[in-house]
Structure 1
């Protein structure tokens, strides 16, 4: 059995490894060791997360997927959560979350009957917490949209603050002659962002 830690943050400017020490402490308290970490900056509302699926593909039956909170694993729709759960079940992976005490015993249990019983209980709790995480995500998105709509009506909406450091780096890559495809692949930025920055360079006579 290997313990594989999954660490996720939603955006590139957030520290995805923030909970690493808590996961290490959880394992150490039980005389266990984390075999590998999988870190990515992707929204939990997206099913397509390369590091999460690399972790699952690396797993052998009985391995543990260790997370800080259930929402690190899923803020998915019900349909996408069902797909992810099916993949986890197919690999016979045990999900252990620090915020889900009913899952903690799965990190150490060796008896197959006990493991199956705990898995069944844990599955119900995971479903409930995943649904709560999705609702929280949708509620926050709705409040943000309402706030933006109100600010636009009042003429106070300024949009998202520009990431000047990132944009300066992207413009440097454009000026160096790198192709858009290579920049997108390396940084994950959108082509619309590159189009806007390219236009800015052209207007400044630096393209």
Structure 2
């Protein structure tokens, strides 16, 4: 489960995924969530998940864009890594991927055909997710440029000073970034920003 910012709830989809797994006659064995951009390969929790996987395991997602908003090159790297580990991707919004939950019931020919179809659809949905990301970034930049052209209108995003102070104290105590991210509900980008500020002092 992934959300892009600290203000979004990465665990929002947990109930829907539990319901889906139950309907499919299976269960989720472990949960991973992170507040990181899907447009970056700097995804510690995603790669911890993959390191924990065994061949034949299923990576269950609400939507393909929870896995990736990557550019084409980075998406191919991630897809290749997942394939090399023998991990199957199932997305609730991609019905053809659901058969991976019953892969043992498929013959070799059908399994290969379904893998090919799902690979093509995953690539297509990943490309759509990337385009949506780029479109939103472009519209945001246009909105900021327009606001900056209007005196007194553009103020930027408010800084959560209380959270940043809590992060600073946690870093001072030597707590790990993973502990801070989980317990203070913040992104690694925010932790890095606070850490950089401390290094300047």
Q: TM-score, normalised by structure 1?
A: 0.81
Q: Give the aligned partner of residue 4 of structure 1.
A: none
What secondary structure is seen at the aligned counterpart in 1 of 2:144? helix
Contact 1:75 1:130 in 2 (8 A): yes
What stretches of structure 1 move > 6 A for 4+ residues in a row? none
Residues 122-167 of structure 1 show CA distances to partners (whole Å, capped at 9, x for unaligned) of 0000000000000000110111111111111112110112224313
From 190, 193, 201, the counterpart of 2:192:
190
| 1:158 equivalent in alignment to 2:155 | yes
Q: Which protein has the larger Cα radius of gyration, Structure 1 or Structure 2?
A: 1
Q: Give the aligned partner of residue 127 of structure 1.
A: 123
Structure with the larger RCO, 1 or 2 (CA within 8 Å, 6+ apart)? 2
Q: Give the aligned partner of residue 169 of structure 1.
A: 166
Relative distance call for 1:86 and 1:146 in structure 2 (3 A) is same
Unaligned runs of 5+ residues in structure 2 are 182-187
Q: Distance in 2 between matches of 1:193 and 1:148?
A: 27
Q: Distance in 1 between matches of 2:27 and 2:176?
A: 36
Relative distance call for 1:52 and 1:194 in structure 2 (3 A) is closer
Larger relative strand fraction: 1
Q: TM-score, normalised by structure 2?
A: 0.84
